[in-house]
Structure 1
Amino acid sequence: MSAKAVITGIGVATPNGLGVDDFWAATRVGKNAIDRITRFDPSPYPSKLAGEIRGFVAEDHLPSRLIPQTDRMTRLALVAADCAFEDAGVKPGDIPEYDMGVVTASTSGGFEFGQNELKNLWSQGSQYVSAYQSFAWFYAVNSGQISIRNGMRGPSGVVVSDHAGGLDAIAQARRQIRKGSKLIFSGGFDASVCPWGWVAQIAGGRLSTSEEPERAYLPFDRAASGYVPGEGGALLILEDEESARARGAQKIYGEIAGYGSTFDPKPGSGREPGLRRAIEVALADAGAEPGDVDVVFADAAGTPQLDREEADAITAVFGPYGVPVTAPKTMIGRLYSGSAPVDVVSAVLAMCEGLIPPTTNVELAPEYALDLVTGQPRTASLRTALVLARGVGGFNSAVLVRAPH
């Protein structure tokens, strides 16, 4: 029998909360954190709103030597890793270094760091470009910096599959646990709210241009016209359940019980998108039936076509109005590789409290046969949650999370 990969620690940093307690206190009641961008002047751009993390000062949490060599996303990830260790009640030296690894996801890498170095190059010359540019922008840098800082020499890597990447990284971490690793950090962080990153995101053609924070990101609503980006993410500590209990783990949030991933067919082929199949594979992997699922955390792309595809997949598996669905990311924006790990955090905290957080601001369009939790949170007995994520280019991923026994 394969080892059970369980979540024993969480580090989360989102626009509506730093740390598990602040994040859940805001999420459970639907606190909105989308607003006009303050990190640069957005007035020249068609999209002007984002979910920003306000009040984060990296120097308050990290040694000064790390500041010049890290992008904002990496600083957030390093602090989240520290919080996850503390939350799990384990120190890096407690577990042999080759039994600990790091698998993260990234969508854009350290864009803001790269922007600053390009500015130095063109305004001052190549001698003013930081040597740290060689890695600070790189997709794998969060895995590298976390592993170096904490002496983790076990299996490590990075997954790049846009918004789906966070779930794919968690699945890869589970594989490493099943292969014998004792502890794997997993999740994703992105933070590209800077002019260079903003231009790249706008070029994707899926960003909302609304300037009303409460009406900009409206998945499954007739007014849906794109999404609002955000910054942040979450890191989870995954451990083998037996090893975790043997070391006296303070808490077990839940088990990563099932995973499925698929790739969409070529556009124009007339074939069905792959999300439904990803859900079915995740259920089969967990030995679960559709009726076992108590809540679905939707990808919630916020464009009519993608919302329709996701709604069709959910209703095909669970039936019309067959399972409660929510998308709390409407409070904070889509965090790219960080979105799905944050949804996994929301899922385990929802199961712990018996409360489904709401999809804020949305009025469900009647053409979607979804039991969408809108307006207010909903109390419910929750033992199993399904988290969905889709990435640009055809990526579909689904993870089934079970409450601890």
Structure 2
Amino acid sequence: MKRAVVTGIGVVAPSGLTTEDHWRSTLAGERHVSELDGRLVGQVPGFAAEGSVDPRLIIQTDRWTWMSLAATRQALDDAKYDPAAHDPYATSVVLASGSGGNEFGQREIQALWSKGRRAVTAYQSIAWFYAASVGQTSILHGTKGPNQVLVSEGAGGLDSLGAARRVIRRGTPAVIAGGTEAPLSPYALVCQSTSERLSTTGYRPFDADADGHVPGEGGAVLIVEDAAAAAERGAQQIYGEIAGYAATHDAYHPERPAPDCAQLVRAMRKALADADVTPDDVGFVVADGAATPALDALEAQAIREVFGRPVPVTAPQGYVGRLCSGGGALTVATALLALRDGIVPAVGNLARPGHDLDLVREPRQLAADVVLVNARGFGGFNSSIVLKRYREEGLRDAG
């Protein structure tokens, strides 16, 4: 069975415009939530498409695609992987999107209302579409491997990485995976407000005073490769292996959460089994951390049920906001950096722990070899992924 490893990471997030900036900010416990039109949001400060994106693409695409293209460039540079140096069919693009091109769509709607239908540009038909970032990335880098877009709200970032591993097992050596979002336009925020899960005080996963999440923009893109192919091309770094993955659905209600955690428990156990590890092998868990009392209680119950011991649990996304599909990808990037440096970041914005878990309140030195990451999406999506520390002997023997 081919093994999938992560060789490059690119980050564009409220916590930083590079991977290392994000990591430093996360360990420092810096909060990146501000007010926009009377709402709390996690904005990416200082990001400009100019200098990162071809001007011809800027006018054709939305902010979420700009961020995706910038993060992809970072990830490719980090992995020292140039798609042009390989057969076009050797590289795929598998990204997640939960909301598409909101800002672009907002402008086009306003143009329609104020000036009429002739003011709407032809680019509206492609800029808002969920697969826009996948298509633009593939065109820009000349990749012709199997392309996909995963649409499962907050679980999408994990699902894209699970799909990337599947593409690799089917014979494509490298995949550009992950996701970004930019859901902070006025109409996008109004749409999110109907969920009744937005906080008015701050995003505080697993806090006794949690009252919902803060929407945010950005995310991460990762280069996932067949381990044997990475070794053959002389890859200089391996952040970790995508060892296990599973996804389930509550099948309960399109808006209300299920009354139990059965399907989240099932996703976690199936991911562990897929990775051929036991709960005792897991060094720490990066939780979904929805920050609503009911959802946090259900996730805490699921973690206790699966592990049966006080496993360390973190949810650093409290520092930046909930980035929809971009959040899962960013969480995986954070987990890989934690494995690399042997330090677990704290739960973001936690003041009063409200659940019976070993919540990480300060960055904790922990030389773990295995981490489990959870992500859930509005509507009943549950995804879990198991990451393993890279071992050189495993890379040589892979394939």
Q: Tell me the TM-score range normalised by the shorter chain.
A: over 0.9
Structure 2 residue 342 is the aligned partner of structure 1 residue 354: yes
Task: Name the residue aligned to 1:252.
Answer: 238
- 1:92 counterpart letter in structure 2: P
Q: 1:271 to 1:352 in 2, by over 3 A?
A: closer
Q: CA deviation at 1:124?
A: 0.7
* 1:213 corresponding residue in structure 2: none
Distance in 1 (CA, whole Å) between partners of 2:14 and 2:125 is 29
Q: Give, in whole Å, the separation in 1 of the partners of 2:278 and 2:309.
A: 16
**TM-score, normalised via structure 1 length:** 0.94
Give yes or no for contact 2:267–2:383 (8 Å, CA) kept in 1. yes
- Cα distance in 2 for residues equivalent to 1:49 and 1:270: 28
CA distance in structure 1 between the aligned counterparts of 2:258 and 2:382, rounded to whole angstroms: 17
**Does the aligned pair in 2 maintain the 1:98–1:152 contact within 8 Å?**
yes
Q: How does 1:148-167 map to 2 (within 5 A)?
A: 148-167=139-158
Q: What is the CA–CA distance in structure 1 between the aligned matches of 2:24 and 2:350, rounded to whole Å? A: 20
Partner of 2:33: 34
Contact 1:265 1:272 in 2 (8 A): no
Q: CA deviation at 1:280?
A: 0.1
Match of 1:130 among 121, 129, 133: 121
Aligned residue type for 2:270:
V
Asked if 1:296 is matched to 2:282, the reply is no
Q: Which residue of 1 aligns with 2:62?
A: 71
Unpaired runs of 5+ residues, structure 2, are: 392-399
Task: Supply the distance in 2 between the matched residues of 1:271 and 1:341 (Cα, whole angstroms).
Answer: 26
Distance in 1 separating the partners of 2:292 and 2:258: 20
Q: CA deviation at 1:198?
A: 0.8
* Larger deviation, residues 354-363 vs 283-292: 354-363
Query: Contact 2:213–2:322 (CA<8 Å) still a contact in 1?
Result: yes
Shift of 1:62: 1.5
1:189 lines up with 2:183 in the alignment: no
CA shift, 1:365, in A, is: 3.6
Q: How does 1:255-334 map to 2 (within 5 A)?
A: 255-266=241-252, 272-321=261-310, 323-334=311-322
Q: Is the 8 A contact 2:134 2:147 kept in 1?
A: yes
Deviations 1:17-72 (A, max 9, x none): 111111111112211111112xxxx13xxxx1111001111112122111100100
- SS state of the match for residue 59, structure 1? coil
- Which amino acid in the other structure matches residue 58 of structure 1? A
Aligned partner of 2:7 in structure 1 is: 8
Partners of 2:261 and 2:237 lie apart in 1 by 41
Three-state SS of the structure 2 residue aligned to 1:62 is: coil
CA distance in 2, matches of 1:270, 1:77: 35
What is the CA–CA distance in structure 2 between the aligned matches of 1:329 and 1:397, rounded to whole Å?
16
Letter in 2 for 1:310: E
Structure 1 residues not aligned, in runs of 5+: 211-215
State the match for 2:395 in structure 1. Answer: none
- Superposed CA offset, 1:196-252 (max 9, x none): 111011111100022xxxxx1112111110000110001111100010010011211
Residue aligning to 2:109: 118
**For the aligned residues, what is the CA RMSD?**
1.3
Structure 1 residue 394: deviation in Å?
A: 0.7
Q: Distance in 2 between matches of 1:182 and 1:381?
A: 30
Q: Distance in 2 between matches of 1:11 and 1:99?
A: 20
Q: Is the 8 A contact 1:320 1:369 kept in 2?
A: no
Partners of 2:168 and 2:348 lie apart in 1 by 36
State the distance in 2 between where 1:379 and 1:365 align: 20
Cα deviation per residue 1:234-291 (whole Å; 9 max; x = unaligned)? 1111100010010011211100000011111425986644101100000000000000
Distance in 1 separating the partners of 2:33 and 2:51? 25
Per-residue deviation at 1:361? 2.4
Q: Tell me, yes or no, if structure 1 residue 336 matches structure 2 residue 324.
A: yes
- 1:102-148 C-alpha deviation (Å, 9 max, x unpaired): 01110100011001001111101111111010010000111001000
1:234 aligned to which of 220, 227, 244: 220
One-letter amino acid matched to 1:241: A
Q: Is the 8 A contact 1:104 1:142 kept in 2?
A: yes
For the residues of structure 2 that align with 1:73 and 1:270, how far apart are their CA atoms?
Answer: 34
- Please report the TM-score for the alignment, with normalisation by the length of structure 2: 0.95
Distance 1:401 1:62, change over 3 A: same
CA contact (8 A) 1:167 1:389 kept: yes
Secondary structure at 1:56 match in 2: coil
For the 8 Å contact 1:364–1:372, the answer to whether it is kept is no
Matching residue of 1:395: 381
Task: Please tell me whether the aligned partners of residues 261 and 299 of structure 2 are also in contact (alpha carbons under 8 angstroms).
Answer: no
Q: Residue 360 of structure 1: CA displacement?
A: 2.9
